């Protein structure tokens, strides 16, 4: 199954938002990260983002940064990320979320071909802007992959229009200015940002950064096409006493958040 947009459109046709879950590959191990991602899908996550661990995660908060460091220290490399993608992609559309430097060093054409071969849906590229993404856009189009770029509350109308036009699958709206991490309250700027994107694009809009509870998921689902959750899932794994408990905890959180996006409060 490929195409993250198809999952978001299917959810929208069902009268609800989609739930997108994130976890880094290799955290706490490659094998366990596969089990965790599968548990998320089984519990109601509509699409998956697999994080590519990177040594300089400038947009990530302490929770995800610590998880990425554990993955790197455990020897996780790009081939392992692709292995996780391949193990999950037959269950739900599976994107890789990655900073651009590892892709560039691996080789854009090579990475894109390998991702497509693994069944991946595309990339979320938090530190890559469309005007600097010519190689990636061309390669993604040749391999029929989604290109998910980010917009922020500070984005001008011109940048929103340009970024949305470059996206395929969905537009990723960051609901706050700052690094990733679960928060006590969702952003008051998010609804306006989603509305601004919708004025310029027919693509679904997913909102990420900060959601960790069923109530927050329901709140974001009331105005966005997808609710994107990362740090809360990572924290579940970090707090679990062992891998089996982590799988149970991640599944329970996914089930709770899925109920939220469906309006089951």
Domain boundaries, the chain: 4-259
The domain over range 4-259 is classified in CATH as 3.20.20.70: yes
Q: In the sheet that 94-97 helps form, which strands lie side by side, from edge to edge?
A: 146-148, 122-124, 94-97, 47-51, 18-24, 226-229, 205-208, 171-174, 150-151
What percentage of residues in the chain have a pLDDT greater than 90?
89
Q: What's the pLDDT score for residue 196?
A: 97
pLDDT single digits (tens) 96-133: 999 999 999 999 999 999 999 999 999 999 999 999 99
Arithmetic mean of pLDDT over the chain: 93
Task: Kindly report the number of other CB atoms within 10 A of residue 196's CB atom.
Answer: 20
Known catalytic residues are 49, 60
Q: What are the structure tokens assigned to 14, written together?
A: 């069902």
Predicted confidence (pLDDT) per residue in 49-89, tens digit: 999 999 988 888 899 999 999 999 999 999 999 999 999 99
């Amino acid at each position: 199954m490929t195409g993250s947009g198809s999952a978001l459109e299917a959810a929208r046709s069902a009268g609800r938002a989609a739930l997108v879950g994130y976890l880094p590959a290799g955290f706490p191990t490659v094998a366990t990260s596969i089990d965790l991602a599968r548990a998320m899908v089984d519990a109601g996550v509509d699409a998956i983002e697999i994080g590519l661990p990177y040594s300089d995660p400038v947009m990530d908060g302490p929770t995800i940064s610590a998880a990425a460091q554990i993955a790197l220290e455990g020897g996780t490399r790009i081939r392992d990320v692709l292995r996780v993608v391949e193990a999950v992609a037959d269950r739900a559309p599976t994107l890789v979320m990655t900073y651009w430097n590892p892709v560039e060093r691996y080789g854009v054409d090579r990475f894109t071909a390998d991702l497509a071969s693994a069944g991946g849906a595309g990339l979320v590229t938090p530190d890559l802007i469309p005007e600097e993404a010519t190689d990636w856009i061309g390669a993604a189009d040749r391999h029929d992959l989604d290109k998910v770029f980010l917009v922020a509350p500070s984005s001008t109308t011109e940048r929103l229009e340009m970024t949305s036009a470059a996206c395929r699958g969905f537009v990723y709206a960051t609901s706050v200015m700052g690094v990733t991490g679960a928060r006590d309250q969702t952003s008051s700027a998010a609804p306006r940002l989603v509305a601004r994107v919708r004025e310029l694009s027919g693509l679904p809009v997913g909102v990420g950064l900060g959601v960790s509870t069923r109530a927050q998921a329901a709140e974001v689902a009331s105005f966005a096409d997808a609710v994107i959750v990362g740090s809360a899932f990572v924290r579940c794994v970090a707090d679990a006493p062992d891998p089996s408990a982590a799988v149970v905890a991640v599944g329970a959180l996914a089930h709770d958040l899925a109920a939220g996006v469906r309006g089951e409060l």
